[in-house]
Amino acid sequence: MNLEQSLEEYLQRTCGAPQVLKNVISTLRHDLYFGPVYTDGHGGEATWGDEGATQFDFSRGCRIASDWISENVPSELWWDYDADCWMTKEPEGFYEDENDEESWVEPFWETIYHVDRNQILGVFVGKELARYVN
């Protein structure tokens, strides 16, 4: 399994976004790729110039998504790709008693990958939208 697939599954399992946030993110993506979104005030679509049409507020949508993400999504993760195991804290070494001797055991760093906030946001909201949601 690759990093993005595994990260997406992990985020869905642990940070399941409510439907309203999924709708906001979907509308933000549409606005970003195709231009402003207008509604008729009753949940239906409208076009510019229609009576009563209101434009989706991109900045406000980004703030809503950013606030929810800051409270519910980790800012960094570590992935052990051999075990497909996600960790919210950096792995640490430990002392192990072996035959009445203490020895330091270091994490196996060759299989551990650090995932930063930008990569997490890129998977959660999409790489292009991640520039606006922080």
| 73-94 pLDDT, tens digit each | 999 999 998 888 999 999 888 8
- Number of C-alpha atoms within 13 angstroms, CB side, residue 104? 3
* Distance, CA of 118 to CA of 52 (rounded, Å): 38
Residue 44 pLDDT exceeds 80: no
pLDDT of residue 94: 84
Average pLDDT, the chain: 87
Tell me if the pTM is above 0.75.
yes
* Distance, CA of 75 to CA of 29 (rounded, Å): 22
Considering the chain, what percentage of its residues have pLDDT values greater than 70?
89
Expressed as residue numbers, the domain containing 114 is: 3-131
User: How many domains does the chain fold into?
Assistant: 1
